[in-house]
A and B are shown apart, each in its own frame.
Chain A
């Protein structure tokens, strides 16, 4: 009798404490290994849930650039009952996909890289201190990546999926207006490859550009005043802002990252990633800096604490030829 009673009691207790699927389970992704059914979002350029810098893989490895190499972020997956918030074991899969319409040039639509995961499936745990972890490696290109978590509970029932957005971005870049330094510098970064969406830079680089433009004009006018009879410099001696005005073309995207004006998110541009680089037109007929004035412009670049500029691109195409400017890191 005692044995029967004990068995009945055990059955009753077992019945009462068997977990029941009272509701469809949910999943959540978190940057921190701490369970919260509603993690606070980061803030950044794109208003994404999580923010991280892009990776930086360049043939031009630049000392002083802090982002060189892989940019990674752990993502922690939790599966829980939406009523009791008790953690459950679920079989989940994570996928990442670069959102269309974010991140840069015209070619963002189809080919912007997604980034990678170290693995994409796993079992969530009931131990909040030891959650399931994925490691996401950002692409070199900035933009919004959708991270979508799907799966099934222990009974094979589908769980409610969730999509978190990852803002792959360099924060803090500013949009430079089309005219700076009182008309002494023009920013015109539009081309047939893209909109004028690459006018961004750090505040310091913007200040350096303006300093350069003012210094160039100062040197130009001063030298012209002193050497007006000189046939070399008197030819186009400017008296106001009608003289040669430096013109910037490619700079940086709104959220930095790999700068590409081609169609496949590969170089021609290795750099222009962190907001401290820009191309200055030199021989383009519309924005030409005549050769007699180039020492002064070069000196203005140096005075502005930029690297020694390198001229380049395509000599046969005067519209493309430019100086590659690099500002303070």
Chain B
């Protein structure tokens, strides 16, 4: 009888071992990361350069091995940090960098078809920059995605391999796993009409030696409510001039809602220091960028005639 019980126990134990699941890997979100975007604008090429820096907090459990940013089409001149590479995602409008250079398997580790660790991850307590691209589109809120290194253990049978990803929650695309947040990236903008020195007609004469202020009206319309503009976000001209004395519309005379073109829609009139605008003799138009209070980028431009220029 004891022998029978013993055999039964042995059989039961062998069943458990034979059906034991490999422990699931942790999700690739065991990182605390800060994503910083640096955006510059080249007035000659009319391109924005976006550069991102990843800073992994000391408390991160995993190394960062992948980073992605969504964007509105299109981007170019994608650059990678050392040991990293990039690709565009099948689902569109997302660029993904990853630490692609592998380290050799440690001595004694059998090659079971698995993925070796990366040689250039962002380790906890360190940062990495050099993720960059250019785009004609201005900055606005976009999503970022960061993945930590979480190797998936190989399975010993076809059925186990098929079931493992379901059991361990590996289903879903990259964008559905890991750490996500919001940073600055290329977004589509709302095109607005502007009037420089209203009611002057374009091309508007611009004295490059002017040391006063230049009024600019953002024209309201049936499709654009000028009162929704975030005044503090406005930038004008190659010098990226900011609004002089920004404040609530009507508060100090520097930002007023009035109908400058008599179309029945309120227009937002703001003022910029003329010298800060940075008009050059080669300029033929002035670009105004900014965003609405809801964060949607806006852009508008008008033809100018710099003076005195030969």
Distance of A287 Cα from B302 Cα, bound (Å): 60
Interface residues on A, range: 35 or more
> In B90-123, which residues have CB < 8 Å from any A CB?
90-91, 96, 98-105, 110-116, 118-119
Q: Are A310 and B100 in contact (CB under 8 A)?
A: no
Determine which of B90, B100, B155, B171 lies in contact with A312 in the assembled complex, contact meaning CB atoms within 8 Å.
Answer: B155
Selected interface stretch from A57-65, A105-113, A154-162: A57-65
User: Does B294 belong to the interface (CB within 8 Å)?
Assistant: no
User: Does A42 belong to the interface (CB within 8 Å)?
Assistant: no
User: Does B156 belong to the interface (CB within 8 Å)?
Assistant: yes
User: Does B253 belong to the interface (CB within 8 Å)?
Assistant: no
User: Does A291 belong to the interface (CB within 8 Å)?
Assistant: yes
**Chain A residues within 8 Å of B154, by CB:** 310-312, 315, 321
Distance of A126 Cα from B101 Cα, bound (Å): 75
Q: Are A313 and B104 in contact (CB under 8 A)?
A: no
The smallest C-beta distance from B175 to any residue of chain A, in angstroms, reads 8
> In A302-325, which residues have CB < 8 Å from any B CB?
302-315, 321-324
**Chain B residues within 8 Å of A322, by CB:** 113
CB-nearest residue of chain B relative to A63? Answer: B171
Q: Are B104 and A269 in contact (CB under 8 A)?
A: no
Selected interface stretch from B38-46, B158-166, B188-196, B227-235: B158-166
Q: Are B156 and A291 in contact (CB under 8 A)?
A: no
**Chain A residues within 8 Å of B89, by CB:** 303-305
Determine which of B101, B118, B173 lies in contact with A305 in the assembled complex, contact meaning CB atoms within 8 Å.
Answer: B173
CB-nearest residue of chain A relative to B159? Answer: A267
> In B130-187, which residues have CB < 8 Å from any A CB?
152, 154-166, 170-174, 177
The smallest C-beta distance from A141 to any residue of chain B, in angstroms, reads 16
Q: Are B170 and A313 in contact (CB under 8 A)?
A: no
Contact flags B16-51 to A (C-beta < 8 A → 1, else 0): 000000000000000000000000000000000000
Distance of A279 Cα from B161 Cα, bound (Å): 10
Distance of A291 Cα from B112 Cα, bound (Å): 10
Q: Are A270 and B99 in contact (CB under 8 A)?
A: no
User: Does A215 belong to the interface (CB within 8 Å)?
Assistant: yes
Q: Are B163 and A59 in contact (CB under 8 A)?
A: yes
Distance of A312 Cα from B166 Cα, bound (Å): 15
Q: Are A310 and B152 in contact (CB under 8 A)?
A: yes
User: Does B225 belong to the interface (CB within 8 Å)?
Assistant: no
**Chain B residues within 8 Å of A60, by CB:** 159, 162-163, 166
The smallest C-beta distance from A57 to any residue of chain B, in angstroms, reads 14
Q: Are A218 and B102 in contact (CB under 8 A)?
A: no
Q: Are B105 and A291 in contact (CB under 8 A)?
A: yes
Q: Are A313 and B173 in contact (CB under 8 A)?
A: no
Q: Are B174 and A283 in contact (CB under 8 A)?
A: no
**Chain B residues within 8 Å of A267, by CB:** 158-159
> In A220-272, which residues have CB < 8 Å from any B CB?
222-223, 226-227, 230, 232-233, 267-271
Selected interface stretch from A8-16, A88-96, A144-152, A292-300: A292-300
Distance of A63 Cα from B172 Cα, bound (Å): 10
**Chain B residues within 8 Å of A270, by CB:** 159, 162-163
The answer to whether residues A230 and B173 also contact, given A308-B165, A311-B152, A311-B154 and a CB cut-off of 8 A, is: no
**Chain B residues within 8 Å of A300, by CB:** 87
Determine which of B80, B110, B119, B158 lies in contact with A268 in the assembled complex, contact meaning CB atoms within 8 Å.
Answer: B158
Distance of A307 Cα from B82 Cα, bound (Å): 27
Count of interface residues, chain B, beta-carbon cutoff 8 Å: 49
**Chain A residues within 8 Å of B111, by CB:** 283, 291
User: Does A326 belong to the interface (CB within 8 Å)?
Assistant: yes
**Chain B residues within 8 Å of A207, by CB:** 90
Q: Are B104 and A232 in contact (CB under 8 A)?
A: yes
Distance of A326 Cα from B161 Cα, bound (Å): 11
The smallest C-beta distance from B71 to any residue of chain A, in angstroms, reads 15
Distance of A49 Cα from B104 Cα, bound (Å): 58
User: Does A211 belong to the interface (CB within 8 Å)?
Assistant: yes
Q: Are A323 and B163 in contact (CB under 8 A)?
A: no
**Chain A residues within 8 Å of B164, by CB:** 310, 312
The answer to whether residues A307 and B172 also contact, given A223-B85, A269-B159, A295-B118 and a CB cut-off of 8 A, is: yes
User: Does A282 belong to the interface (CB within 8 Å)?
Assistant: yes
Q: Are B102 and A232 in contact (CB under 8 A)?
A: yes
CB-nearest residue of chain B relative to A284? Answer: B113
The answer to whether residues A299 and B166 also contact, given A208-B90, A291-B111, A315-B113 and a CB cut-off of 8 A, is: no
Minimum-distance CB pairs A-B, first 10:
A312-B161, A312-B155, A282-B113, A311-B154, A311-B113, A305-B90, A303-B87, A268-B158, A60-B163, A324-B161
Write 14 A-B pairs (CB below 8 A) sorted by A numbering.
A60-B162, A64-B171, A223-B100, A267-B159, A271-B162, A291-B102, A291-B116, A303-B87, A303-B89, A304-B89, A307-B172, A308-B165, A308-B170, A315-B156
Q: Which residues does B use to contact A, with CB under 8 Å?
A: 66, 80, 82-83, 85-91, 96, 98-105, 110-116, 118-119, 152, 154-166, 170-174, 177
Q: Which residues does A use to contact B, with CB under 8 Å?
A: 59-64, 207-208, 211, 215, 218-219, 222-223, 226-227, 230, 232-233, 267-271, 277, 279, 282-283, 291-296, 298-300, 302-315, 321-324, 326, 328
Known: A267-B159, A328-B173; 12 extra A-B contacts, CB below 8 A, are A62-B166, A211-B90, A219-B100, A227-B101, A268-B159, A283-B112, A299-B98, A305-B91, A308-B152, A312-B156, A312-B158, A314-B157
